[in-house]
């Protein structure tokens, strides 16, 4: 009996050998990668592109004249690179455009006068010229605080938040991912069940649930009281100020007062002077402008036409918009410039691709991934009902870049197990550039989610964080000088190679099961 079992096992193993040997291996075109590396590392234009987007056109707030001018320049550049079907595709409505055209601010006291670093929040009004007035503290944290300040704020600048403590920076603001961190990312996390059963988190009446309504009431209070502007301390330190929005984009949104974010060091100095009964006056000149002529926005697209599978599609993308206090360098001129460069590399090398490769640069990402979501809804499927459009079946992959200036270290697979061996093969020639890691984990907050939400393979690359969350993300320090040129050059090479191989493999990339409809109106 034992002898029979051994023979049976031997036969099974023998039969298995040709099966394993015949398993298809993912093809990697090393000749193409040589050409891509040569063009991207020895003839790069990525920093020239980035300088135009940041230095010449500056901040690219969705709806602003700056983003429209930058979009026109990109269309011209893509056309010069011989992409086809280069155009802007409108979407909307988005709402009013807005730009800050001027801000000057200085403090005046009986003994000293000095300039302060401050920025207005987006979609807030200005001061209609220079205004000098008293500075007061007015910290309102609940409805009972309204009565404490009622009738005391008219014609004054109001500091509306307590001064935060500023810690020393004992750790460098910039860093790269360590081998241990990358190894940890490659492991699938398992979340143990929470006690208390479902439905226990986020109970009605919780603290955060009331925050938006209270903030609206607080802003209305300051507006009704006639403050010249509210002032808040910025997150960050060392002159870094993180600034986003404070007003509504829609014509029907409630009016708000001018709102300013000030560097924490200057905010603290003014606060302490008032604590010591030293009177302080501020002079500010804030000129903000709204644009109501076109309430829609746009995405920029351009293609390299495919060959025998030209009706199938590989997409590269990054968001084109930014916030307004810096020049949107790491968030996300870096991603936009890399994707433009990847397309230039593919054209310059003359490599042939079976599928069409399409570039898309999105607007409205900072306000809720609006541009890419509108595009996916128009072209592929509406996530609310999951009714698929014809192009859904012809789609292969979307690759996104939106985590700053850092070099690519791997890919978030978004739970797509089947694509792992494919990407593993494609990564192999780039391990000498630091790309080593695949993680089954998902990452959020950017435009690949629009594709993933309707069952299309959408991926964001793992990047070294550099100074992204500590210094540049949504801040006045998000400028050209914070960019790592060598990292962007490597990123463009890697993405060009991924696009090339996705465009030329026999089959489209494997997909996860279709998600269920998410309900609610598409945004």
- DSSP readout, 102-138? EEEEEEE-SS-EEE--EEEPBT----SSEEEEEEEE-
The pTM assigned to this predicted structure is 0.92
110 CB-near residues (< 8 Å, 6+ apart) = 278, 279
Decide if domain 100-166+210-288 falls under CATH 3.40.50.980.
no
Encoding tokens for residue 155?
Answer: 């014609």
pLDDT in tens, 422-442: 999 999 999 999 999 999 999
Domain 100-166+210-288 in the same topology as domain 30-94+296-504 = no
Radius of gyration of the CA atoms of the chain, in A = 27
Alpha-carbon distance values, 112 to 60, 239, 310, 336 (Å):
37, 21, 69, 45
pLDDT of residue 520: 61
Q: How far is CA 457 from the centre of its chain?
A: 19
DSSP SS3 for 92: coil
How far is it, in rounded angstroms, from Cα 345 to Cα 499? 11
Please work out, in degrees rounded to the nearest 5, the angle formed at the alpha carbon of residue 440 by the alpha carbons of 389 and 448: 40
| Cβ proximity of 334 and 488 under 8 Å | yes
Tell me the CB-side half-sphere exposure of residue 71, using CA atoms within 13 A.
28
pLDDT in tens, 182-238: 999 999 888 787 654 444 333 333 333 445 699 999 999 999 999 999 999 999 999
DSSP-assigned letters across all residues of 307-361: STEEEEEEEEEEE----SSS--IIIIIHHHHHHHHHHHHHHHHT---SEEEEEEE
The owner of tokens 């609610």 is 520
> With a cut of 70, which residues of the chain have pLDDT below it?
1-24, 194-212, 520-523
434 CB-near residues (< 8 Å, 6+ apart) = 407, 408, 409, 490
How far is it, in rounded angstroms, from Cα 322 to Cα 320? 7
Correct CATH for 30-94+296-504 of 3.40.630.10, 3.90.1170.50, 3.40.50.261, 1.10.10.10: 3.40.630.10
DSSP-assigned letters across all residues of 291-315: E-S---EEEEEEEE--STEEEEEEE
Any idea where the domains of the chain sit in the sequence?
30-94+296-504, 100-166+210-288
Nearest to 422 by CA among 505, 360, 305: 505
pLDDT of residue 11: 42
What 72-81 contacts at long range (C-beta under 8 Å, 24+ apart), as own/partner pairs, is 74/300, 74/320, 74/336, 74/340, 74/361, 75/300, 75/302, 77/49, 77/340, 78/300, 78/302, 78/340, 78/343, 78/359, 79/302, 81/340, 81/343, 81/344, 81/347, 81/348
Residue 108, number of CB atoms within 10 A of its CB: 15
Encoding tokens for residue 159?
Answer: 């500091």
pLDDT of residue 496: 98
pLDDT of residue 521: 53
């Amino acid at each position: 009996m034992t002898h029979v079992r051994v023979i049976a096992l031997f036969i099974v193993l023998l039969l298995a050998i040709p099966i394993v040997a015949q398993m298809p291996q993912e093809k990697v075109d090393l000749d193409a990668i040589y050409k891509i590396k040569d063009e991207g590392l020895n003839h790069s234009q990525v920093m020239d592109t980035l300088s135009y987007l940041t230095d010449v056109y500056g901040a690219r707030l969705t709806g602003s004249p700056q983003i429209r001018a930058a979009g026109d320049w990109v269309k011209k550049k893509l056309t010069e690179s011989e992409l086809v079907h280069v155009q802007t595709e409108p979407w909307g409505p988005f709402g009013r455009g807005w730009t800050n055209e001027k801000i000057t601010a200085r403090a005046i006291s009986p003994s000293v006068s000095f300039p302060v670093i401050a920025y207005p929040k987006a979609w807030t009004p200005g001061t209609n010229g220079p205004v000098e007035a008293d500075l007061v503290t007015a910290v309102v944290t609940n409805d009972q605080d309204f009565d404490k300040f009622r009738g005391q704020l008219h014609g004054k600048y109001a500091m509306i938040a307590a001064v935060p403590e500023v810690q020393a920076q004992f750790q460098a603001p910039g860093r790269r991912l360590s081998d241990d961190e990358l190894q940890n990312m490659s492991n699938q996390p398992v979340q143990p069940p929470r006690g208390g059963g479902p439905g226990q988190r986020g109970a009605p009446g919780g603290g955060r649930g009331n925050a938006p309504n209270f903030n609206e009431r607080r802003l209305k209070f300051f507006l009704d009281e006639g403050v010249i502007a509210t002032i808040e301390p910025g997150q960050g330190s060392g002159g870094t100020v993180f600034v986003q929005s404070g007003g509504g984009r829609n014509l029907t949104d409630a009016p708000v007062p001018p709102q300013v974010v000030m560097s924490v060091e200057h905010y603290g100095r003014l606060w302490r002077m008032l604590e010591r009964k030293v009177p302080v006056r501020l002079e500010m000149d804030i000129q903000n402008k709204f644009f109501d002529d076109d309430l829609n926005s746009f995405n920029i697209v351009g293609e390299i036409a495919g060959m025998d599978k030209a009706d199938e599609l590989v997409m590269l993308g990054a968001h084109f918009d930014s916030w307004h206090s810096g020049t949107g360098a790491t968030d996300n001129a870096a991603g936009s410039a890399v994707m433009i460069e990847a397309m230039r590399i593919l054209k310059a090398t003359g490599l042939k691709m079976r599928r069409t490769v399409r570039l898309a640069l999105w607007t409205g990402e900072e306000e809720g991934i609006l541009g890419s979501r509108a595009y996916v809804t128009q072209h592929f499927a509406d996530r609310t009902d999951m009714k698929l459009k014809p192009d859904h079946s012809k789609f292969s992959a979307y690759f996104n870049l939106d985590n700053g200036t850092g070099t690519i270290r791997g890919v978030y697979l978004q739970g797509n197990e089947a694509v792992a061996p494919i990407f593993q093969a494609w990564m192999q020639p780039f391990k000498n550039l630091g790309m080593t890691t695949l993680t089954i984990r998902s990452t959020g907050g950017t435009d690949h989610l629009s594709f993933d939400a309707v069952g299309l393979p959408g991926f964001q690359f793992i990047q070294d964080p550099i100074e992204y969350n500590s210094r540049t993300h949504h801040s006045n320090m998000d400028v050209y000088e914070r960019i790592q040129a060598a990292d962007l050059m490597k990123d463009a090479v890697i993405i060009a190679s991924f696009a090339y191989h996705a465009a030329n493999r026999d089959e489209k990339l494997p997909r996860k099961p279709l998600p269920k409809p998410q309900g609610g109106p598409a945004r």
